[in-house]
Structure 1
Amino acid sequence: MADNVRFPVPDIVRRRAEVEGLPGRDWLASLDDNLHELEHDWGLTIGQAIAGGSTAFVAEVVDTAGQISVIKVSTPGSAIGRREAEVLTAAGGKGYVQLLRHDPARHAMLLERLGAPLHEFDMPYRDKIDILCGTLLEAWMPVPSGAAYTTGVDKANSLAMAILERWQQLGRPCSQAVLDTALMYCRDRAAAWRPENAVLAHGDPHPANILEVPETDGRRWKFIDPDGLAIEPAYDLGVLLRAWHEGIAGRHAHDIARSHARHLTSRTQVPAEAIWQWGYIERLSTGLHLMELGEMEQGQAFLTVAEALTQPEGH
């Protein structure tokens, strides 16, 4: 690293950029100059990078009036297939962090400053689920016309392909029955997609992607880092269901997991079967992805639950 670099890049962000090849290396080489230019163009003083993300340089900034906000400059590869700025613009601060300024050429966004993420709060996962559901109800909106968002068909088909490929590459770490169930559910969700039933969904609404609104004492929350999908609301709820492992073991594992899906329905009025299917797909996909990244124990935990859910109810 050069001695005159003013904005050191966190190691995890640097590694992500380097994995992206030449575009990522170019991004690293030009980042310091881009941040200097953004300071000038937007009238800001940029602080040092803050922890939390792995695909962007994120730091607090102060403008000439003394107002504090957050700048985010994403790696070029992390922006592919995502419509973060478009979702934030469409939301206008409702359910999502407020987008204050955007420079697409430099993958830069100026965002309102929020508080701590939900995953840092010591509370039962069920309570976090209720916060997430309430904020999703605020955040979901009609799909804007004229934009080519990833659809429910696209998402189901891409997940099916990724699951099959990773299952084979990892040496078939779960049973054929688990794989077949997930692929069946992918076909079901693709067939069920209808544009009139789609919302502009977050795409990855886990507890690290929702932050407390300052000075509201946990009463208001907003999402960050949306992918932006034109998909049924059940997909976002399936993402919540995939990590709800509590109590899912033994003879009644299936019944307990089904009760979790029904709880999500009780909070949102979204049909439980669609939530169940997306949750199962996401659980297997996430487990395989974690194992692919070398997180074998964490990934296996997802697969173990998927195995339990594939058994007949009550067995």
Structure 2
Amino acid sequence: MSQHAAVRVPDGLEARRALGEPWVSWLDRLPGLAREVLAEWELSPDGPAMHGHCSLVLPVRRAEGELGVLKLALPDAESEHEALALQRWAGDGAVRMLRADPARRAMLLERLGRRTLAEEWDVQACELVGQRYARLHLPAPPQLRLLSDQVARWTASLAALPAGAPLPHRLVEQAVSLGRELTSDPGERRLLHTDLHYDNVLAGEREEWLVIDPKPLAGDPHYEVAPLLWNRWDELAGDVRAGVRRRFHAVVDAAGLDEERARDWVVVRMLHNALWGLRDDPGQVRRGTRELLTVCVAVAKAVQD
């Protein structure tokens, strides 16, 4: 491919400039980085550019004709060990990585279909994800950051919330107590995806469903459940409690997890999500943040009512 071939960053990804640094610097570099990697790895574009929340995804064809996608991710903590996780899984239940340059956050991946688990019945989708946990939760590589260290920091921040924060005080206290308990008894250090929801499971050819886009940490597999509960939220309208509980029990039963420990992690994780929402909106709470807080509180209550 020509060194001068244009690579257009999709508008949805360009819009992240509004978030300031490090987005601006990365987006400035991104077209040149894409041209550089395409030329170096002898890849030809094979369709319009796509994007995730923090990555450029280019359909490509290798010199020998094999189809793939080139993924270039924002160089942040979440993407630091993505290639390491995919290497560890070696295509077993997850997308196969064909080549990587972690320093540049560049990966060549096998090409999967566009269909995701979001198109399946949510309870069945939860069962499918739960059935894959055992294949994904391998002994963690030593390079990974520890979930327990992260949770200890987030729990300390949650404990420091002012009394007037727009969250039920009882739930905040409960999440702080549980967070301290879970970090003092962190359990096995397993390779965690940490963002395993419906849109991160794509249709494949060698397997019906394959996992993508890990944000890996080392820690307790029970941490993985919560994203399946808060995503596809609109589908739960009318009976949130029953819908959340159906999903929770579907994934816990399919994975053979300890129900009480999974429930505790859901409570902790939902209150941490609420904390991050308040941090991103430090002034008057906007509508989007209020909706996030409502979801977080509703999930935390539903799994234990």
Q: Which band: TM-score by shorter chain?
A: 0.7 to 0.9
Deviation larger for 83-92 or 258-267: 258-267
Which residue of 230, 238, 254 maps to 1:267?
254
The Cα shift of 1:80 comes to 5.1
Deviations 1:194-242 (A, max 9, x none): 3xx221111110111111113x7xx621111111111111111233345
Tell me whether 1:301 sits opposite 2:299 in the alignment.
no
The 8 Å contact of residues 290 and 299 in structure 1, kept in 2 or not, is answered as yes
Residues of 2 paired with 1:7 and 1:118: CA distance? Answer: 26
Which residue of 175, 180, 203 maps to 1:212?
203
Deviations 1:132-172 (A, max 9, x none): 1122222221112xx2322232132133245456x549x61
Q: Which amino acid aligns with 2:100?
A: H
TM-score normalised by structure 2 residue count:
0.82
Aligned-residue CA RMSD in angstroms? 3.2
The Cα shift of 1:297 comes to 5.1
| Distance 1:6-1:181 versus aligned 2 partners, 3 A rule | same
- Give ranges in structure 1 of 5+ residues lacking alignment: none
Counterpart in the other structure of 1:181:
174
Which residue of 163, 169, 184 maps to 1:191?
184
Q: Which amino acid aligns with 1:199?
A: R
| Distance 1:244-1:59 versus aligned 2 partners, 3 A rule | closer
The 8 Å contact of residues 130 and 255 in structure 2, kept in 1 or not, is answered as yes
| Distance 1:124-1:301 versus aligned 2 partners, 3 A rule | farther
Counterpart in the other structure of 1:8:
8
Q: Which amino acid aligns with 1:53?
A: G
Which residue of 165, 169, 194 maps to 1:203?
194
- Give ranges in structure 2 of 5+ residues lacking alignment: none
Give 3-state SS (helix, strand or coil) of 1:58's partner.
strand
Give 3-state SS (helix, strand or coil) of 1:150's partner.
coil
The Cα shift of 1:13 comes to 2.3
The Cα shift of 1:283 comes to 2.2
| Distance 1:107-1:81 versus aligned 2 partners, 3 A rule | closer
Residues of 2 paired with 1:306 and 1:237: CA distance? Answer: 12
Counterpart in the other structure of 1:27:
26
The 8 Å contact of residues 238 and 277 in structure 1, kept in 2 or not, is answered as no
Residues of 1 paired with 2:102 and 2:243: CA distance? Answer: 45
Deviations 1:86-116 (A, max 9, x none): 0011111112111111123322110111112
The 8 Å contact of residues 126 and 247 in structure 2, kept in 1 or not, is answered as no
Which residue of 128, 132, 139 maps to 2:136?
139
The 8 Å contact of residues 274 and 292 in structure 2, kept in 1 or not, is answered as yes
Number of residue-to-residue matches in the alignment: 294
Which residue of 114, 127, 130 maps to 1:130?
127
Counterpart in the other structure of 1:61:
60
The Cα shift of 1:249 comes to 5.9
The Cα shift of 1:44 comes to 0.8
Tell me whether 1:238 sits opposite 2:226 in the alignment.
yes
Q: Percent identity?
A: 23
The 8 Å contact of residues 96 and 222 in structure 1, kept in 2 or not, is answered as yes
Q: Which amino acid aligns with 2:16?
A: R
Give 3-state SS (helix, strand or coil) of 2:226's partner.
helix
Residues of 1 paired with 2:15 and 2:232: CA distance? Answer: 30
Residues of 1 paired with 2:45 and 2:210: CA distance? Answer: 23
Deviations 1:54-110 (A, max 9, x none): 211111001222221000111223x45741010011111112111111123322110
Give 3-state SS (helix, strand or coil) of 1:57's partner.
strand
Residues of 2 paired with 1:244 and 1:181: CA distance? Answer: 26
Listed as ranges, the matches of 1:237-256 within 5 Å are: 237-243=225-231, 246=236, 253=241
TM-score normalised by structure 1 residue count:
0.80
Listed as ranges, the matches of 1:38-49 within 5 Å are: 38-47=37-46
Residues of 1 paired with 2:227 and 2:89: CA distance? Answer: 21
Counterpart in the other structure of 1:154:
149
Deviations 1:22-62 (A, max 9, x none): x5433333322222222221111125654440211111001
